[in-house]
Amino acid sequence: MKRYISKSMLALLVTPALLLSFVLMPEKSKFEGSWKLNESKSELGDFGGRFAARKMKVEQKNDAITIAKTTPGFNDGPDVVRTETLTFDGKTVESTNQGGFGTSKRKASIKWSADEKSFVITQNTSFEGQNGPLEISGTETWTLSPDGKSLTAETHNTSPQGEYAMKAVYDKE
């Protein structure tokens, strides 16, 4: 005796499976937009007030994110804007920046969390300090509030001077 599934029976089995596969796919958080530091909600620590970006402009695509951070200038100089594009394929991106401490070289990569609601930037920055070469390494974890109006960037860095952490909270403009 031959068993077979009719086309209508196959359609009844396949259609729900296809629909569920689209519904159950997690949606990546959308960090795109202009963001302004909310100092009253932030925990900037001893050094963070000096290094936390006051503003950020973020452009996000499926495969990459471009982040432009505006930080205060050194010794009351003009603000410094650093722009970096990181790809979500995990590749390390190298960049050279001019700023208050002279020229710095940065290597960074980015990786989504398993649920794609947050990501971690892993970085290593080196520059010539007053007492010779200096290297800072660490991570920066970005998360959005459920309503998408607040972005939290938690930073943990290590340098020869020790470890420091800060939590910068940004409001969407």
DSSP secondary structure letters along 85-107 = EEETT---EEEEEEETTEEEEEE
Residue 13 within a domain: no
pLDDT digits (tens, 9 = 90+) for 109-138: 999 999 999 999 999 999 887 778 889 999
Residue 167 within a domain: yes
Residue 24 within a domain: no
For the cut 70, the answer to whether the pLDDT of residue 19 exceeds it is no
Range 79-95 burial, b when 16+ CB lie within 10 A, else e:
ebebebebebeeeeeee
Residue 11 within a domain: no
Residue 16 within a domain: no
**What pLDDT is stored for residue 22 in this prediction?**
47
Average pLDDT, the chain: 84
Q: Could you tell me the CATH number of the domain that includes residue 72?
A: 2.40.128.20
Domain count, the chain: 1
**What pLDDT is stored for residue 6 in this prediction?**
59
Residue 25 within a domain: no
- The confidence band for 142, taking pLDDT boundaries of 50, 70 and 90, is very high
pLDDT digits (tens, 9 = 90+) for 37-85: 999 999 998 766 677 899 999 999 999 999 999 988 777 788 889 999 9
**What pLDDT is stored for residue 20 in this prediction?**
46
Rg (CA), the chain: 22
Residue 157 within a domain: yes
Give the range of the structural domain holding residue 161, as residue numbers without chain letter.
32-172
Q: List the beta strands (DSSP E) in 8-161.
A: 33-37, 55-60, 64-71, 80-87, 93-99, 102-112, 118-129, 132-144, 150-159
- The confidence band for 10, taking pLDDT boundaries of 50, 70 and 90, is very low
The listed range with the strongest mean pLDDT (124-133, 143-152, 153-162) is 143-152
**What pLDDT is stored for residue 12 in this prediction?**
53
Residue 159 within a domain: yes
